[in-house]
Structure 1
Amino acid sequence: MLIFTHVTWLDLCLASAGVYLVMQAFSKKNPAPYPPGPSRWPLIGNIADIPHNKAWLTFARWGKKYGDILHVEVLGRHIIVLNSVKAAIELLDTKSSIYSDRPVLTMGGELVGWKYALGFLSYGDRFRYYRKTIHRIMGSRAAMSVYEPIEEIETRRFLKRVFAKPEQLQTHIRHTAGAIILRISYGYEVQDDNDPFVDLADRAMRQLSQSNDTGAFMVNIMPWLANVPEWFPGAGFKRLAREWRQTLKETVDAPYTFAKDQIAAGIAPLSFTSNLLKGHTLSAEEDHMVKWSALSLYTGGADTTVSTIYSIFLAMTLFPDVQKKAQAEIDAVVGTDRLPSFADRDSLPYIEALVKESLRWHVVVPTAIAHCVSEDDIYDGYYIPKGSMIIPNIWFMLNDPQTYANPSQFNPERFLDNDGRDPEREPRTICFGFGRRICPGLHLADASIWISTVMSLAVFDISKIVENGVEHTPEIDSSSGAISHPKPFKCSIKPRSAKAIALIEQDVGY
């Protein structure tokens, strides 16, 4: 990722040094030491230490050396990394009144324009409005039940696509996730192939992930760089921001306009947007908030569930014994004459454990979205200054061998009662974030992952692919970025039986 050319580093450092010296001249004495962390250089701090790729691995390595809470500083910007659930809960949950703000991420938030989306919104009235509306419509499993038919129908369509073209698995997962979230958010039914809204969301989410990757753009650390002209050497980020801003504008406006047109014509199906707009006359400000809260729901579910479901197919390829146990439970409870449905969920504890393990084994948002502390604070004898960026290292929390035995193994049984041993820590209390910033769409994501998993395992056998007589074992690796995906892999996906084919080919319709 382009940050700045080496030619301009000296100029930047000299300018930054001046700013730093002025700040130091007027700074007050700290009431306590900062948390431990890697040694800092004078003036520039840890600018050379900030990882630009898979930051969570570097943070985990630092955590082993410095402890559960660590500190780095870049040109006066304080960054606090939390490597334990205990620290995350005690700060982000218990002290949520001062730890619920967001830092200004200049690239993604200001230059691209994501600052109005819920995930990046500053804490305040607009944030509370978004949360309240999303919670009212889908803040519990019971509230989500009205959308279960949509999820079941779109997942059955997914089975058909996978059966027809199993080699395009990742495309099918993305298409189905987009179909579900677009239907729920806007009442929009996607086209079978190359749907413009699905493609638009896919592009926007890739750009969002890149723009908010920890350390990827120096403008996120030094916001004043946003004033550098686009032609300036090394300022290629300005051109990217301009292009990505246009993508975001289309992503916000196009599906919302579709939903409003459907409502005006009297033909809008039930959706998040129609629920908020039907029978209401909104001010310009209220209209803006509805549009962006719908976008927040739409983009929040358009990419994260794709990553988890894809990782489940990877896990089933690598851990066939888990797949066999899951299929045995489905066959015993549901049988082979029908597809599973949400009505079966409480009767399938192993599938439930498998979904939990998928959320732990492949962490979709490894460093969450950074929080920001709004007041000076003292924690465990350490000083956390106002404005510090707080990064919970969720990846390490879910891969800590002190919490999860053999964390690299995909083992759903860790979440079941086994031989009198208590289940290991529930990953859903970690992977969806903390405090007032916990993901409001967690029940939607959880439902999408569950129904995709149980229906797929009911009808498909997933295994390593054999090419030219050679069995290929997929590599376990993940992409960098704010949202992490498993590295693309090949696998064999075949119907389990003639009965399974018949279930896949059943007619599907709204």
Structure 2
Amino acid sequence: MALSDVFLFAGAFLLTALAFFLGRKPNMLPPGPKGWPVIGNIFDMPTKSNWLTYAEWGRKYGPICSVNLMGQRMIIVNDAKILAELDRKGAIYSDRPRLEMAGELVGYAKTVVLLRYNTSFRNCRKHISKMMGTINSIQKYLPMEEHETRRLLKRVLANPGNLNESLRKTSGSIILKVTYGIDVQEENDPFVKLIESSNTNFGIATTPGTFLVDNFPALRHLPENWPGAGFKRLAKKWAEIFDNVIEVPYAFTKGQMDAGIAPPSFLSSALADEEGLSPSKLLDIKHTAASLYGAGADTTVSAQYAFFLAMILYPYVQKKAQAEIDAVVGSDRLPGFMDRENLPYINAIVSEVLRWNSVAPIGFPHTAMEDGIVGGYFVPKGSIIITNLWQILHDAEVYPDPFTFDPSRFIAFPGKEVQRDPRHACFGYGRRYCAGSHLAEASLFICFAMSLAVFDITNAVENGVSVVPVYESMSGIVSHPKPFKYCIKPRSERASALVLADNF
């Protein structure tokens, strides 16, 4: 070998080594647990609290890792910087995976949350953004939000042991009023009952590992009466309920419009704005309306329920918040959204609830629409992308002491900067970022401020012993704190009088 060839070979070797150490091969998949032949990592997948397993994989394999599910590549992101990269590249990372049970057999693929990234999706998002996409656009809903929250206070005062149901009723009332102009009955409302039933089915159907057909799609072709095909009979039953969710509230609002008595709502406005609707556009509007309840009510309830738990676990936070309300608002009226700018600590509580309680711990899966590079690794077209929002919002390097509920993280004072706003992650990313975030935050602020103004939220006492609740999250696409014991009492007779006042 000539000396020049030796130098050429050595130079090529050094360049290759340098490229390996300074960067990664563009076709190198993210690392992850070693799987089995054919089936890959099927048996490595968690069946509950999957965000904890994904976080552990992140610590072991790095901020972006991957698994193979019988040939289906799944990419798992545990890092805010990579999440931001996905956000910037939202045009190719905003599709949804095909879910056999929930999406195809039941029909939830028609909802905004599962809709593929296509023209129908963009039409639905356009309708939602027009209705509630900005702070200005939600102003018209604020009086109604405050009215419904006052009704919540009355429910809690009359029956404090029924907190979760009262929160659900309030969120359901707000969404049905906004979406369809429906005034919800105080007891046994048929619309709430129908939609809550479908929401429950959605939660079960979308939970990973619940139905074998999601891993073995060919099973969907089994005849309904064959052994092992019970999921098809269940899907048929759930599909009928979902069809009613789409058509029954729509028919109610359309009937009111025809009679000239329909109050303003998303549906009435969308139908009035679109003259000569084509069948496809009408379906888009119907499905958008049906999606709003599921997307808004369940997530809001999770955050509100977590707030009440946090007030028990961190009583000094509650006292500081109540002192701020007393100083700014006084005791002669309830706080409202108009007080938001003057209640920075209540705003900080909203931010900390969004961070501390991960309503959607892993968000909802996205799908890569084409080959790409993320975090220096190759992400093949069709890969399912999971973003571990729970881990990102509990990263100790960004949020010191991350499991402590501490609103002061988001209040600056001399010598102390605020920690990162959780909204960079908690509402999703890319073209799937929550279009209803402004309305959701308004609901949280009004609920927290009004509740703190009139109630003391403390530990339950059993046999003379204070019961200290434990914060645990239930598994699911939308996660709720597990039920806990509590005591809710009015702060004073004046507070009770404010709750019972009929001047609204």
Whichever residue aligns with residue 60 of structure 2, its letter is K
- How far 1:107 sits from its partner (Å)? 1.3
Q: Is the contact made by 1:202 and 1:302 (CA closer than 8 Å) also made in structure 2? A: no
2:213 is equivalent to residue 189 of structure 1: no
Whichever residue aligns with residue 40 of structure 2, its letter is G
- How far 1:42 sits from its partner (Å)? 0.7
- How far 1:137 sits from its partner (Å)? 1.4
Whichever residue aligns with residue 79 of structure 2, its letter is S
Change in 2 beyond 3 A, CA 1:254/1:247: same
- How far 1:133 sits from its partner (Å)? 1.1
- How far 1:154 sits from its partner (Å)? 0.3
In the TM superposition, 1:313-324 aligns within 5 A as: 313-324=308-319
- How far 1:340 sits from its partner (Å)? 0.5
Where does residue 138 of structure 1 map in the other structure?
A: 132
Give a deviation string over 1:153-172, Cα, whole Å, max 9, x none.
00000000000000000010
Where does residue 282 of structure 1 map in the other structure?
A: 277
- How far 1:185 sits from its partner (Å)? 0.4
Where does residue 436 of structure 1 map in the other structure?
A: 431
In the TM superposition, 1:39-438 aligns within 5 A as: 39-91=34-86, 93-278=87-272, 280-438=275-433
Structure 2 distance, partners of 1:50, 1:125, is 33
Q: Is the contact made by 1:77 and 1:221 (CA closer than 8 Å) also made in structure 2? A: no
Whichever residue aligns with residue 386 of structure 1, its letter is K
Structure 2 distance, partners of 1:393, 1:41, is 24
Structure number, greater radius of gyration: 2
Where does residue 471 of structure 1 map in the other structure?
A: 466
Whichever residue aligns with residue 261 of structure 2, its letter is I
- How far 1:298 sits from its partner (Å)? 2.0
Where does residue 20 of structure 1 map in the other structure?
A: none
- TM, length-normalised to structure 1: 0.92
- How far 1:242 sits from its partner (Å)? 1.9
Structure 1 distance, partners of 2:33, 2:230, is 30
Secondary structure of the structure 2 residue equivalent to 1:45: coil
Secondary structure of the structure 1 residue equivalent to 2:33: coil
Secondary structure of the structure 2 residue equivalent to 1:119: coil
Q: Is the contact made by 2:64 and 2:375 (CA closer than 8 Å) also made in structure 1? A: no
Q: Is the contact made by 1:259 and 1:274 (CA closer than 8 Å) also made in structure 2? A: yes
- How far 1:234 sits from its partner (Å)? 3.6
Structure 1 distance, partners of 2:248, 2:308, is 32
Whichever residue aligns with residue 198 of structure 1, its letter is V
Structure 2 distance, partners of 1:163, 1:72, is 50
Secondary structure of the structure 2 residue equivalent to 1:81: strand
How many residue pairs align between the two structures?
A: 479
Structure 2 distance, partners of 1:360, 1:378, is 28
| Structure 1 unaligned regions, length at least 5 | 1-29
Structure 2 distance, partners of 1:241, 1:264, is 34
Structure 2 distance, partners of 1:226, 1:420, is 61
Where does residue 21 of structure 1 map in the other structure?
A: none
Secondary structure of the structure 1 residue equivalent to 2:55: helix
Structure 1 distance, partners of 2:404, 2:238, is 38
- Percent of paired sites with the same residue: 51
- How far 1:302 sits from its partner (Å)? 1.8
Change in 2 beyond 3 A, CA 1:368/1:508: farther
Q: Is the contact made by 1:305 and 1:449 (CA closer than 8 Å) also made in structure 2? A: yes
Q: Is the contact made by 2:82 and 2:375 (CA closer than 8 Å) also made in structure 1? A: no
Give a deviation string over 1:476-499, Cα, whole Å, max 9, x none.
111111110111112110001111
- TM, length-normalised to structure 2: 0.93
Structure 2 distance, partners of 1:132, 1:359, is 25
Whichever residue aligns with residue 246 of structure 1, its letter is E
Structure 1 distance, partners of 2:366, 2:137, is 28
Structure 2 distance, partners of 1:205, 1:467, is 34
- How far 1:182 sits from its partner (Å)? 0.3
